[in-house]
Chains A and B, each alone.
Chain A
């Protein structure tokens, strides 16, 4: 099966600019997650979708970050305006069903490496 697709792979922007990341999950996966991974750290959940509904966005900095999942398939994550501390790898993951309820493993994309200067 095709994996989780993310684009772009790399992005360099100046602070206060805006940026958008795109994710296409594995076909049929109802649950989609966006994680932020700062260098040397483990990933941290930003937002979780179940189909096209938001399940958890408690750790999403809503003053600057937004995300949507179109028709329950593709998803975009946007940052506006970006800050220096947003420099990180943004990982998209999907699972067939919610990870906890069905012990369904997460499948990750290769991520987008964002550098804010």
Chain B
């Protein structure tokens, strides 16, 4: 059974710092991995989607990497800003499940202090 773990559960950093959020999954048989952002009381916003054949994706100050063989992904945020404060979730789309059966981690709650 696929399980997704995110460490740390919460992180507080001063503005301007570069930071890394971690995601690990137990079964490397995945189609893709997606990183989301969730603001309080809001839905999820898709940040980056990495196909299983890819190693990384970049969007602005965000860079996500995928090492399928070791079951790990990282989300790198450069020059963090208070507006980056949110909960970040990663989700994998595993073999054997249906198309939309993403398996989510519990998220990392990020707080960026001015």
Q: Report which of A31, A93, A105 forms a contact with B99, defined as CB distance below 8 A.
A: A31
Question: Which label, helix, strand, loop or mixed, suits the secondary structure of the B interface?
Answer: strand
Give the complex CA separation of A105 and B34 in angstroms: 8
A interface bracket (residues with beta carbon within 8 Å of B): 20 to 34
* Given A42-B91, A42-B106, A42-B107, A99-B46 contact (CB < 8 Å): no
Is A91 interfacial (CB 8 A cutoff)? yes
A31 touches B100 (CB 8 A): yes
A108 touches B44 (CB 8 A): yes
* Contacting residues, chain A, for B101 (C-beta < 8 A): 45, 48, 56, 59
* Given A42-B4, A42-B89, A42-B107, A99-B102 contact (CB < 8 Å): yes
A100 touches B99 (CB 8 A): yes
A residues with CB within 8 A of B: 4, 6, 31, 33, 40-45, 48, 50, 55-56, 58-59, 91, 93, 95, 98-101, 103, 105-111, 113
What would 9 A/B residue contacts be, using CB atoms closer than 8 Å? A42-B91, A43-B104, A55-B100, A93-B43, A99-B32, A99-B93, A105-B49, A106-B44, A111-B43
B residues with CB within 8 A of A: 4, 31-32, 34, 36, 41-46, 49, 51, 89, 91, 93, 98-107
